[in-house]
Amino acid sequence: MDVEWVNHSCKFGWRVDGIYPPGTDGTHVNRVELSPNEELLATGDDYGLVNVYRNPCREEHLARAYRGHSEHVTNVKFYENGEWLVSTGGQDQTTIQWKQTNE
């Protein structure tokens, strides 16, 4: 039986095998978000980075990493059909809007 999920925010699984750099145990990733069109995965981590991957993210895939937070990123969320990505920081207490461009 095929089950279609509304979203994908689990840090572990086939889609997200490549979000962990070598030598890490997975605890540095705080949030995973799948874009509405299911083309991209975004993560927020303990290093203050918002990372965007192609879906599925296999081990050999590299992220586009964006630094805007001075501390850990607690949440990431896609809006407006994936055109906008919003991230929230921990200690820096900021919310950042990221706009997708076709470059």
E strand segments, the chain: 29-34, 40-45, 49-54, 64-67, 73-79, 84-89, 95-99
Average pLDDT over residues 36-51: 94
User: Is 8 within a domain?
Assistant: no
For position 4, what pLDDT does the model report? 65
User: Is 56 within a domain?
Assistant: yes
Tokens describing residue 7: 């979203």
User: Is 90 within a domain?
Assistant: yes
Residue 51 has pLDDT above 80, yes or no: yes
Domain extent, residue 59, equals: 14-99
Provide the whole-model pTM: 0.87
User: Is 30 within a domain?
Assistant: yes
Task: Count up the domains in the chain and report the number.
Answer: 1
User: Is 6 within a domain?
Assistant: no
pLDDT in tens, 9-20: 788 888 898 998
d(CA 39, CA 67): 22
